[in-house]
Amino acid sequence: MNAIAPRLYLATPPLADAAAFAPALDEALAAGDVASLLIRLTDGDERGQEAIVRVLAPPAQEKGVAVLVAAAPNVALRAGADGAHVSGCGEALADAIRKLSPRYMVGAGDLETRDDAMRAGEAGADYVMFSDLDREALIERVAWWAELFNPPCVVRAKSLADIAPLVEAGADFVLLDDAVWSDARGPAAAIADAQARLKGACA
């Protein structure tokens, strides 16, 4: 049973530049109810990464979208994002929580085992994300988390067809990335389709 009405969580590809990607992002965010945006960055200097976030975050935030930055709490803090998303349940998560909580959000992903997920929740992550499992394993992991724990659960849908079963399993947020950006119909059509599938699963 979902603690909150499930919503979409959109993630960018790893970005080295903001200008070329901004139109596609704007199109996607205008097409549906996106709760959160995860900005992924390629390796580079923090100043350049901050510049990307400063371009992409404000238009999203104006639409009520919470913006998080992947693996870069310092960049998130300085560039005006709403939080950071980090990998694992160890020092990177602890460091992000020290720097950002409770004013900013901290999410934890790349949680390979149930124990990793529990440790992330106990450490104070605002949400846990499950991603690198096949569909049936994801459904099982989401259902387990939703039944036992309070922090929201984010789950990555590899395809739009995965949305409904993941929501039915108890996901609070469905993360979309390649399923949107590689859709031949364009990002707006993909988000609109995803929104319809999400609503259908909740009906």
Task: Map out the domains of the chain with their CATH numbers.
Answer: 7-202 (3.20.20.70)
**pLDDT one-digit tens code per residue, 64-75:** 999 999 999 999
* Beta partners for residue 173, in sequence order: 7, 154
Angle between helices 114-123 and 91-100 (to 10 degrees): 20
- The number of angstroms, rounded, from the C-alpha of 5 to the middle of its chain's C-alpha atoms is 16
pLDDT at 1 over 50: no
Instruction: Tell me which amino acid residue 50 is.
Output: E
Cα distance between residue 28 and residue 190, in whole Å:
8
Check residue 41 and report its DSSP letter. Answer: B
The two tokens of residue 61 are 């935030």
pTM: 0.96
pLDDT at 26 over 60: yes
**pLDDT one-digit tens code per residue, 98-120:** 999 999 999 999 999 999 999 99
Of 4-8, 144-148, 172-176, 186-190, the one with minimum mean pLDDT is: 4-8
| Residues 66 and 37: beta-carbon distance below 8 Å | yes
